[in-house]
């Protein structure tokens, strides 16, 4: 494990997250927010581990700006900003929710509190099911409902979801945290009227490579080589392929890559009852007597 890379990536991610928390985004388009944050990451010496997610209201995750996205943040919105920084493929994943509607402040507070309580109990050997139980209990005590089918995850070099899930509810089956792995913990919270589950939406504007196998389509093969060189196996946005390709060509090539099963797309995730969702997230590495939270 390259601990220093994880720590350096976390420092950048933390600074950028806190700047995003303080900034008034009302009136900004989602594309402006994504571009500003992604440029800030690069200006601080990091690289984006995935496109900045700017998920509004009932969209829990996986929305990033389209090219020329005109969606604008309103003064009644709940905006989740989920960002990732990588240094040599070692990732810091962190998120903040900015709330402009006071009646939903409790969702933000519940997500943040659940994250703090989870960080307080984790050390080498802690069971993931105990973390899920802590998050669930904290969220419910604060009047919210945890999203059961969203979770945190283990991290590996150039891999955001590395196989282990850090649950947001008590769950059967568990693993014990190890000092040789990095993890992200990310409570998602919805209202008492929510279902506590997300469903897939129709929008898909985040993508990643599945494989580098050659296809019979030479234009697709050239795109795959370019994606590998720029992003490795990490997620990317359609807007990241512009200006090397015009938008129409980029969309066509991505569709052909998906049909050839060399690229996957990620659908947005929407609260099943279309209730608002808040999120908080840190990346951490367990120690014998606690955790190193890289994104604190």
Catalytic residue set: 82, 93, 153, 161, 186, 281
Query: ω into residue 243 within 30 of 0, thus cis?
Result: yes
Cα gap 172→187, rounded to integer Å:
18
**Structural tokens at position 22:** 């303080």
Place of tokens 């990091």: 46
Place of tokens 């919270």: 189
Angstrom CA distances, 64 to 36, 98, 105, 125, stand at 13, 16, 23, 36
**What are residue 217's DSSP bridge partners?**
none
CB neighbourhood size of 237 (10 A): 22
Angstrom CA distances, 96 to 75, 80, 93, 187, 229, stand at 17, 6, 11, 11, 30
CB neighbourhood size of 186 (10 A): 26
For residue 191, the 8-state DSSP code is -
Cα gap 69→30, rounded to integer Å:
7
Instruction: With both helix axes pointing from N to C terminus, report the angle between 30-43 and 3-22 in degrees, rounded to the nearest 10.
Output: 140
**What are residue 158's DSSP bridge partners?**
none
Contact 292, 284 (CB under 8 A): yes
């Amino acid at each position: 494990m390259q601990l220093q890379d994880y720590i350096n990536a976390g420092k950048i991610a933390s600074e950028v997250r806190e700047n995003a928390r303080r900034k008034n985004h009302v009136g900004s388009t989602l594309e402006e927010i994504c571009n500003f944050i992604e440029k800030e990451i690069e200006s601080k010496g990091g690289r984006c581990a995935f496109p900045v997610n700017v998920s509004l209201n009932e969209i829990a995750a996986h929305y990033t700006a389209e090219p020329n996205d005109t969606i604008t943040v309103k003064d009644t919105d709940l905006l989740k900003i989920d960002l990732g920084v990588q240094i040599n493929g070692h990732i810091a994943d962190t998120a903040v929710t900015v709330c402009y509607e006071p009646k939903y402040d409790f969702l933000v507070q519940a997500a943040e509190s659940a994250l703090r309580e989870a960080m307080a109990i984790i050390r080498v050997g802690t069971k993931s099911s105990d973390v899920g139980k802590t998050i669930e209990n904290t969220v419910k005590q604060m009047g919210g409902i945890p999203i059961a089918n969203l979770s945190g995850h283990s991290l590996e070099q150039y891999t955001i979801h590395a196989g282990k899930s850090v649950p947001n509810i008590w769950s059967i089956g568990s693993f014990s945290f190890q000092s040789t792995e990095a993890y992200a913990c990310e409570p998602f919270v919805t209202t008492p009227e929510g279902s506590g589950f997300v469903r897939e939406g129709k929008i898909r504007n985040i993508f990643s490579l599945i494989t580098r196998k050659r296809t019979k389509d030479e234009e697709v093969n050239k795109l795959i080589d370019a994606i590998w060189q720029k992003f490795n196996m990490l997620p990317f946005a359609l807007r990241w392929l512009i200006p090397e390709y015009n938008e129409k060509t980029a969309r066509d090539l991505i569709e052909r890559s998906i049909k050839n099963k060399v690229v996957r797309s990620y659908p947005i995730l929407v609260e099943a009852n279309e209730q608002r969702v808040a999120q908080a997230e840190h990346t951490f590495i367990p120690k014998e007597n606690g955790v190193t939270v890289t994104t604190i």
